[in-house]
């Protein structure tokens, strides 16, 4: 008889209100979307450079 394997549960961090549509992707189309964890959203400069260099679009959902 084999030993039962240990079950490990993963606690997923809470998502922030921001979404990043990456590499030319836009809302309504299929592509890569990044959901940062709450408290891990980059600052304005990083968001701007991601837009300029990689055509990423940052959108805040919910209360605007």
The pair of three-digit structure tokens given for residue 2, joined into one six-digit string: 């084999």
Q: What residues does 59 pair with on adjacent strands?
A: 19
pLDDT reported for residue 34: 94
Task: Please tell me the pTM assigned to this model.
Answer: 0.74
Half-sphere exposure of residue 20: CA atoms within 13 angstroms, side-chain side:
22
Residues 2-32: tens digit of each pLDDT: 777 777 778 888 999 999 999 999 999 999 9
Nearest to 24 by CA among 53, 60, 61, 63: 53
Work out whether strand 33-34 and strand 18-21 pair parallel, antiparallel, or are unpaired.
antiparallel
Work out whether strand 57-60 and strand 33-34 pair parallel, antiparallel, or are unpaired.
unpaired
The pair of three-digit structure tokens given for residue 47, joined into one six-digit string: 């968001």
């Amino acid at each position: 008889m084999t030993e039962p394997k240990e079950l490990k549960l993963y606690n997923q961090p809470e998502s922030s209100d921001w979404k990043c549509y990456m590499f030319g992707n836009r809302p309504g189309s299929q592509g890569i979307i990044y959901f940062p964890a709450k408290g891990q959203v980059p600052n304005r400069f990083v968001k701007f450079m991601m837009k300029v260099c990689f055509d990423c679009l940052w959108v805040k959902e919910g209360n605007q």
